[in-house]
């Protein structure tokens, strides 16, 4: 048994009375046990042998178990007498449990070490939190990714009247952003490859889409049957869909220029039909495009004048290097640009490649070598030759972002999350949009269920009341507030569901509180409107992804807040992300966090809330399995943190027992591990096989997640 895992099984009252009563009688001589017996009988107490775990055993009584626990462990927060009393007060709503329910309730439980289940109290035995120097309190500055407030206008940058009108009148964008000011005129007037680097939410999409659209508009005879002139590659289907919808908006002011999209998850047949009808700008995910190049005869890439690679580092991270190299080679070898120059004199005489990324990793440089020739690097402050890429530093998070960090002991993670969500959803006069990032699909499913299906009472849904919409990814959350709706998004959902979930989330009424539980599939490039809070409940697998996640808020000059949860063993992660937060971060203690949602009686109310989750899992086997799966998948995902970050995210430093508690589970991690393997008899695996199995799992998880094919 793990030493740190505190046993908290409620004590038999008769035993406690023994401890509390004092006697003057003294018994001497004989064996130790006989002396003890004689001493007890002198006090009129009959010693009963230790009961084996059974339903009848008082120590197994769920009523006792649901009492806040009396423990010897030290509290890691100030405890006054009043709080102590509150913690020992009985928790309502469990007295009515019938015998059958009680039996189920204790099913699988036993004393510690027998059936491997424990009930530990939330506020005991938690890891100490080292006091880091948090002096660098956050200093919020003016928005760094906002539209320019000076006299710079879109037409001043060379945009034609029709497009300018579309932007200002229909899209309500009056001034360009800094990166648009830098990129727009370059693509309109020069024929040089570009590496575009700018903050999240700074308007990079319009920066490359607008000039390409205008150049095509300038070709009078160009229509949908003329061929594909621009190709935009994005790493995720969601991002590709988003870029396509920007193109569609522009198409409203010039119907001749037709955008098209090919991404996985859709019927290839309908994509082929679309390609056959003709498109001029093709947005695609690399895997699907490569598939069409192989199998779709009508796909003609010979006219391509512009290739844009959006989110370059993610494209590389997902292993598209080879696919992109092949696509570019195919474009190169089939190109008829020279032959058609006279037909389209306004288009560039050579192919222009544009690579975009907010973060620079060595893989982006590699992609630059593959895709760019004699390129310029453009960021908001400077323009220089791409050879100087080495000089470019990673970009920081937007200056107006309020970055909060909270170090939370593992057992208190779930209640801390509940607290913050309660807080963001409490205002009934106006709505809010929140994104919660988790490590894996199973964990998303579980947390979605906690805040949705469980409802106010975490009732088990019986067969008669079975929700017909059981697979829904959008559901109301009375647990938080009457106007709260929760969503889930991850790579294991079908593309149709992913698309409709995002669309519903984006169009939610302004007075609704919407919360989306998701994996990193939503971290890249997604432009969801009015996100006010991003919660990184699990830190990302690569530090750069932190920047992309927090970048879902504080976009285009708007304010935003991001909360990063860290375990006490992960505090040094702050050193890794400090490069993205030159203005500092704001530290919140977990006590503060718990107070904002649970109020002054936070310890008592958080305990009750958590016990309700635990009880729900004990009563509902389906929910319990979901929790167990989420826990094991989470640990597995944790082990896939980049090796360069293992000093912070080391799976060996995790307190698995406490972490299981934050999934509402009472079994020991060992038992959960065995269950997740299907049977109790686990064969010892060859370490080499373990390594290969984990590598396969990690690779599969990545590809499942992004589902790019
Ligand atoms: N000139 C502008 N004025 C106001 N809003 C703008 C302007 N240009 C773009 N936006 C808006 O800014 C938001 C962010 O734009 P976009 O998605 O292109 O950012 P990005 O730089 O690509 O971010 P990320 O790196 O996260 O992908 C969008 O909602 C877009 O409509």
ipTM of the complex: 0.99
Whether 161-378 and 401-588+620-632 share one fold: the answer is yes
Smallest CA-to-CA distance from 498 within 532, 515, 521 is with 521
- Kindly give the interhelix angle for 602-619 and 413-424, rounded to the nearest 10 degrees: 110
Whole-model pTM? Answer: 0.77
**From CA 430, how far away is CA 514, in angstroms rounded?**
11
Q: What is the pLDDT of residue 340?
A: 84
Nearest residue (by CA) to ligand 1, atom 9, is 203
Q: State the pLDDT confidence band at 475, using cuts at 50, 70 and 90.
A: low
Helix (H, G, I), strand (E, B) or coil at 76: coil
- Euclidean distance between CA atoms 308 and 320, whole angstroms: 14
Q: Is 302 exposed, middle or buried (0-12, 13-18, 19+ CB in 10 A)?
A: middle
Q: What is the band of 213 on the pLDDT scale with cuts at 50, 70, 90? A: very high
Q: Determine whether the shortest distance from the Cβ of 560 to ligand 1 is under 6 A.
A: no
Answer whether 238 contacts ligand 1 (Cβ < 6 A): no
CA of 286 to the centre of ligand 1 (A): 23
Fold of 401-588+620-632: Rossmann fold (3.40.50)
- Mean pLDDT across 610-630: 88
Look at residue 40 in the predicted model and tell me its pLDDT: 62
3-state secondary structure at position 96: coil
Please state the domain extents for the chain: 1-48, 161-378, 401-588+620-632
Q: What's the token pair of residue 265? A: 């998850």
pLDDT digits (tens, 9 = 90+) for 399-422: 999 999 999 999 999 999 999 999
CA distance 519 to 502: 13
Rounded CA gap, 339 and 337, in Å? 5
Task: Check whether 674 has a pLDDT greater than 70.
Answer: no
C-alpha 243/C-alpha 246 separation (Å) is 5
pLDDT-derived band at 10 (thresholds 50, 70, 90) equals very low
The Cα 525–Cα 653 span in angstroms is 33
| Torsion of the alpha carbons at 643, 644, 645 and 650, rounded to the nearest 10 | 40
Tell me what the mean pLDDT of segment 25-51 comes to.
Answer: 55
Asked if 275 contacts 262 with a C-beta cutoff of 8 angstroms, the reply is: yes
205 Cα: distance to centroid of ligand 1 (angstroms): 7
Range 417-442 burial, b when 16+ CB lie within 10 A, else e: bbbbbbbbbeeeeebbbbbbbbbbbb
What does the block give as tokens for 89? 């007060």
- How far apart are the C-alpha atoms of 550 and 502, rounded to whole Å? 18
Rounded to an integer, what distance in angstroms lies between the CA atom of residue 445 and that of residue 460?
Answer: 16
Would the CB of 397 count as within 6 Å of ligand 1?
no
Pairing mode of beta strands 474-476, 484-489? antiparallel
pLDDT at 675: 55
What is the average pLDDT across 384-393? Answer: 54
Q: 573 CA distance to ligand 1 centroid (A)?
A: 29
Beta carbons of 564 and 540 less than 8 angstroms apart: no
Give the C-alpha separation, 343 to 326, whole Å: 28
- How is the beta sheet containing 513-518 ordered, strand by strand? 474-476, 484-489, 513-518, 432-437, 531-536, 560-566, 401-407, 586-589
Q: Is 204 in the pocket of ligand 1 (CB under 6 A)?
A: yes
The mean pLDDT of 159-168, rounded to a whole number, is: 96
pLDDT computed for residue 16 by the predictor: 32
CATH says 161-378 is which class? alpha beta
Of the spans 8-17, 409-418, 646-655, which averages the highest pLDDT? 409-418
How many other CB atoms are there within 10 angstroms of residue 17's CB atom? 11
Angle at 668 between CA 662 and CA 670, to 5 degrees: 120
- State how far the alpha carbon of 314 is from the alpha carbons of 317, 413, 522, 695, in Å: 5, 29, 12, 19
Which pLDDT does position 495 carry in this prediction? 84
In this model, does residue 19 exceed pLDDT 70?
A: no
User: pLDDT higher for 24 or 571?
Assistant: 571
Q: Please, which pLDDT band fits residue 521 given cuts at 50, 70 and 90?
A: confident
Choosing from 143, 527, 531 the residue with most ligand 1 atoms within 8 A of its CB, the one to mutate for a pocket test is 527
Q: Encoding tokens for residue 452?
A: 């949705």
> Contact, 182 vs 188, CB < 8 A?
no
């Amino acid at each position: 048994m793990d030493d740190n895992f505190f046993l908290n099984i409620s004590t038999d009252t008769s035993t406690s009375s023994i401890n509390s009563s004092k006697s003057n009688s003294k018994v001497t001589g004989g064996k130790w046990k006989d002396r003890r017996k004689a001493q007890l009988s002198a006090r009129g107490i009959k010693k009963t042998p230790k009961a084996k775990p059974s339903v009848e055993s008082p120590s197994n009584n769920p009523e006792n178990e649901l009492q806040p626990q009396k423990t010897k462990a030290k509290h890691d927060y100030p405890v006054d007498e009043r709080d102590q009393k509150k913690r020992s007060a009985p928790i309502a709503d469990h007295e009515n449990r019938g015998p059958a329910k009680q039996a189920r309730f204790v099913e699988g439980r036993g004393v510690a070490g027998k059936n491997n289940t424990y009930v530990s109290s939330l506020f005991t035995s938690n890891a100490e939190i080292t006091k880091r120097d948090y002096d660098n309190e956050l200093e919020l500055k003016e928005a760094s990714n906002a539209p320019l407030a000076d006299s710079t206008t879109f037409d001043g940058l060379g945009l034609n009247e029709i497009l300018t009108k579309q932007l200002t009148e229909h899209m309500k964008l009056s001034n360009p952003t800094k990166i648009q000011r830098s990129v727009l005129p370059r693509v309109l007037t020069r024929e040089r490859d570009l590496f575009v680097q700018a903050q999240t939410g700074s308007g990079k999409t319009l920066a490359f889409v607008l000039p390409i659209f205008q150049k095509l508009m300038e070709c009078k005879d160009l229509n949908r049957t003329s061929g594909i002139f621009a190709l935009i590659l994005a790493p995720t289907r969601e991002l590709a869909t988003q870029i396509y919808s920007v193109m569609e908006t522009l198409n409203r002011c010039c119907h001749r220029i037709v955008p098209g999209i090919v991404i996985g998850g859709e019927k290839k047949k309908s994509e082929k039909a679309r390609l056959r009808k003709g498109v001029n700008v093709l947005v695609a995910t690399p895997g699907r495009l490569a598939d069409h190049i192989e199998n779709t005869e009508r796909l003609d890439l010979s006219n391509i004048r512009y290739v844009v690679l959006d989110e370059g580092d993610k494209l590389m991270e997902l292993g598209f290097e080879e696919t992109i190299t092949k696509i570019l080679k195919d474009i190169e070898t089939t190109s008829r640009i020279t032959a058609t120059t006279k037909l389209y004199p306004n288009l560039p005489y050579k192919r222009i490649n544009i690579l975009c990324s907010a973060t620079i990793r060595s893989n982006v440089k590699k992609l630059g070598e593959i895709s760019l020739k004699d390129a310029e690097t453009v960021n908001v402050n400077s323009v220089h030759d791409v050879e100087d890429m080495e000089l470019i530093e990673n970009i920081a998070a937007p200056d107006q972002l309020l970055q909060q960090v909270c170090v939370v002991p593992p057992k208190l993670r779930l209640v801390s999350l509940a607290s913050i969500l309660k807080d963001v959803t409490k205002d009934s006069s106006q709505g809010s949009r929140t994104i919660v990032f988790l490590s894996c699909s199973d964990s998303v499913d579980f947390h979605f269920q906690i805040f949705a299906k469980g409802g106010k009472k975490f009732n088990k849904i019986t067969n008669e009341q079975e929700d017909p919409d059981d697979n829904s990814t959008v559901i109301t959350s009375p647990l938080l507030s009457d106007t709260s709706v929760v969503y889930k998004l991850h790579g294991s959902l079908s593309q149709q569901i992913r698309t409709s979930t995002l669309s519903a989330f984006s169009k939610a009424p302004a007075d609704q509180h919407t919360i989306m539980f998701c994996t990193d599939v939503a971290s890249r490039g997604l432009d969801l409107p009015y996100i006010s809070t991003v919660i990184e409940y699990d830190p990302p697998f690569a530090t750069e992804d932190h920047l992309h996640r927090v970048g879902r808020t504080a976009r285009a000059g708007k304010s935003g807040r991001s909360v990063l949860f860290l375990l006490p063993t992960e505090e040094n992660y702050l050193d890794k992300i400090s490069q993205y937060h030159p203005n500092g971060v704001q530290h919140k203690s977990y006590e503060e966090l718990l107070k904002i949602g649970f109020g002054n009686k936070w310890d008592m109310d958080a305990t009750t809330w958590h016990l309700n989750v635990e009880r729900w899992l004990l009563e509902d086997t389906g929910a319990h399995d979901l929790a167990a799966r989420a826990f094991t998948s989470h640990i597995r995902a944790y082990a896939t943190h980049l090796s360069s970050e293992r000093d912070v995210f080391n799976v060996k430093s995790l307190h698995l027992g406490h972490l299981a508690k934050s999934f509402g589970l009472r079994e020991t991690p060992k038992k959960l591990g065995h269950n997740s393997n299907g049977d109790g008899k686990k064969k010892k695996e060859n370490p080499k096989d373990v390594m290969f199995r984990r590598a396969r799992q990690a690779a599969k998880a990545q590809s499942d997640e992004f589902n790019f094919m």
